[in-house]
């Protein structure tokens, strides 16, 4: 699962991922806030991509690095764009339907899906340790969501939102493998540029069907959302360039602190009892997988 990455620099990768976690949590808060003000999910995805495209293109032009986006892997970029835009709808859909902290906790199941994908796509051998961690993580999801079990702990959460959140986590895991593959030959600038260039025009075609007028304050929220999206995209892509997904994903767990704070301060939503019971299981299982991945990577180096 560790796959080759360009110029491994683990501490830089961890720092980039930590910054990405905070930026993504802020982005999710802005998406939820804009949605509550009448902006549709489709429109928000368009502005997220369009503003990122403008920002990235402008930065590249200012630095004289537009040539860096040249690529011979258009097909790979197209596949990443298709998976990425689909994943974006599910990620933001979960944010809109669920409290921020709960949506964030469910997103932490991405490492469990990464283990499953490693077996299915790459025929990797996974031992009892990692399978046990996957089972523990999904047990945490059951505690968090309580899908009709009536455990009497705290009522569970919207099952549709939980399902969308799990699909989003699966797609995030899948996209991480795509990004690691692209990072072998492409710069982070190129990866982000082609993603937005493929998706922004496609999403623009939907605007006549979903657009509604907004207040100046709502436009400011949408603009901030787009800028956060551009920054987060670069931070995420760069983190996977300098470190392995199995290790740096640990930094994603700090997003729960931001999400809990935003839920309380912006939306006046206190974390549920289920969150405090289920999230530690999910985070603990993810940490075990990351620890095991790191040990396996070291063993491969010693043997190789």
| pLDDT of the residue at 303 | 64
Helix ranges restricted to H, 37-158: 41-62, 74-97, 100-107, 110-122, 128-145
| pLDDT of the residue at 244 | 66
Total Cβ atoms within 10 A of residue 22: 17
Cβ atoms of 238 and 251 closer than 8 Å = no
- Burial class from Cβ neighbours inside 10 Å (0-12, 13-18, 19+) for residue 83 reads middle
| pLDDT of the residue at 223 | 93
Closest residue by Cα to residue 138 from 155, 115, 154, 171: 115
**Model pTM score:** 0.83
| pLDDT of the residue at 302 | 64
In angstroms and rounded to an integer, the radius of gyration of the C-alpha atoms of the chain is 19
Provide the residue-wise pLDDT of the chain in tens; the chain has 304 residues. 444 344 567 778 888 989 999 999 999 999 999 999 999 999 999 999 999 899 889 988 998 888 888 899 999 999 999 999 999 999 999 999 999 999 999 998 988 898 888 888 877 777 788 888 889 888 888 888 776 444 444 556 788 999 999 999 999 999 988 988 898 888 888 898 999 999 999 999 999 999 889 999 999 999 999 999 888 877 877 787 776 665 676 778 889 999 999 999 999 988 888 888 888 988 888 888 877 777 766 766 666 5
CA 56 to chain centre: 19
Domain ranges of the chain: 10-303
How far apart (Å, rounded) are the C-alpha atoms in residues 157 and 176? 27
| pLDDT of the residue at 297 | 66
How far apart (Å, rounded) are the C-alpha atoms in residues 167 and 161? 10
């Amino acid at each position: 699962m560790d796959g080759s990455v360009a110029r491994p620099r683990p501490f830089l990768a961890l720092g980039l991922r930590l910054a990405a976690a905070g930026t993504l949590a802020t982005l999710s808060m802005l998406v939820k806030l804009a949605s509550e003000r009448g902006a549709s999910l489709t429109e928000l995805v368009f502005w997220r991509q369009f503003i990122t495209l403008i920002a990235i293109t402008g930065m590249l032009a200012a630095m004289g690095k537009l040539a860096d986006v040249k690529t011979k892997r258009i097909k790979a970029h197209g596949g990443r764009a298709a998976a990425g835009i689909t994943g974006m709808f599910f990620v933001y859909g979960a944010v809109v339907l669920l409290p921020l902290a709960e949506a964030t906790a469910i997103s932490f199941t991405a490492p469990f899906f990464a283990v499953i994908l490693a077996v299915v796509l790459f025929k990797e051998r996974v031992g009892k340790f990692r399978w046990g961690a996957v089972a523990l993580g999904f047990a945490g999801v059951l505690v968090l969501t309580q899908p009709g079990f009536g455990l009497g702990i705290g009522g569970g959460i919207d099952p549709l939102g939980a399902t969308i959140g799990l699909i989003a986590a699966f797609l995030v895991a899948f996209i991480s493998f795509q990004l690691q593959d692209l990072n072998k030959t492409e710069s982070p600038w190129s990866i982000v540029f082609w993603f937005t260039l493929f998706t922004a025009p496609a999403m623009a075609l939907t605007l006549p069907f979903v657009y509604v007028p907004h207040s100046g304050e709502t436009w400011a929220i949408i603009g901030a959302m787009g800028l956060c999206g551009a920054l987060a995209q670069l931070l995420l892509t760069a983190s996977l360039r300098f470190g392995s997904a199995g290790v740096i994903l640990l930094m994603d767990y700090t997003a729960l602190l931001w999400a809990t704070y935003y839920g309380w301060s912006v939306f006046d939503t206190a974390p549920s009892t289920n969150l405090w019971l289920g999230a530690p299981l999910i985070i603990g299982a993810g940490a075990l997988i990351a620890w095991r991945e790191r040990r396996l990577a070291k063993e491969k180096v010693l043997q190789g």
